Amino acid sequence: MTSPTQDRAPLGLARVDQVLVVATLRRIHDPEASDAFVVTLEVAPGERLDEEALLGELGAAPSALGPQALWSLEVTRTHAGSGTQVSESRAEVRLDVVVPTAQADAGVEVLESLWGRVSSLATTSAQGPDRETAIGRAREVVALVWDVRADRLRVSDEEHHPEHGGWTIGLVDGDVARYEVELAATVDGPRTIRVRRRQATEVADSIGESG
């Protein structure tokens, strides 16, 4: 008689079909991150993501900001399937960086540079999303990073960038915050997403209204 353990197909950490990589930047006195960068790396069947290079890039990036920058790096994996067969293996990697206010601009530059290198690790190509996909993805990313309900996010404005298939989607969370989401944020990185978060009072003050 064969035991359940012998029947079960082994799970291997080497296999990954998709990696979601998130990096956030928060000023040390702010309760929420002001910027987020997201990239989805799809791995073709039979290919293997260079995980050592990915984690090396993410781990080294904060060092460019000096000893005052605080950071944490979290890695999680999810395996799913039916019976003994694994049909999908996904990983999520999240880098959170906290910097003094004076270093916020430098922090954004470091993460922008990092994202170009991370995107290059993908083994498959990606196409720019259509409008409905772009809006849905924008809501999903904001809900993921800031732990807000996606169905509460209202689209305030949108702009298509046909030269590289990208979109800029404005989302509003009631009177709390506004998010500017750039999907396919660069010509060479259709899988990249950048989000800027501003409190509602900041948006009002920028157009000369009291918040």
Task: Quote the pLDDT of residue 72.
Answer: 95
- From residue 185, alpha-carbon distances to 59, 178, 182 in Å are 23, 18, 5
Compute the CA torsion angle 196, 201, 205, 209 (nearest 10 deg): 140
The letter for the amino acid at 14 is A
Q: Which of 60-64, 125-129, 201-205 has the lowest mean pLDDT?
A: 201-205
> Whole-structure pTM over 0.75, yes or no?
yes
Over residues 104-122, the pLDDT tens digits come to 999 999 999 998 888 888 7
Average pLDDT, integer, range 59-79: 91
The first and second tokens of residue 197, run together, are 């978060």
User: What is the structure's pLDDT at 35?
Assistant: 97
Does residue 85 surpass a pLDDT of 80?
no
pLDDT at 205 over 60: no
- How far is residue 37's CA from residue 100's CA, in Å, rounded to a whole number? 19
Q: Residue 159 pLDDT > 90, yes or no? A: yes
State the average pLDDT over residues 186-195.
70
Q: What is the mean pLDDT of the segment spanning 23-40?
A: 95
Confidence of residue 149 (pLDDT cuts 50, 70, 90): very high
Structure confidence at residue 126 (pLDDT): 64
Full DSSP string of 189-200: BTTEEEEEEEEH
The sign of the torsion formed by the CA atoms of 126, 128, 130, 134 equals positive
Specify the DSSP element, H or E, that contains 69.
none
pLDDT tens readout for residues 6-31: 334 455 666 788 899 999 999 999 99
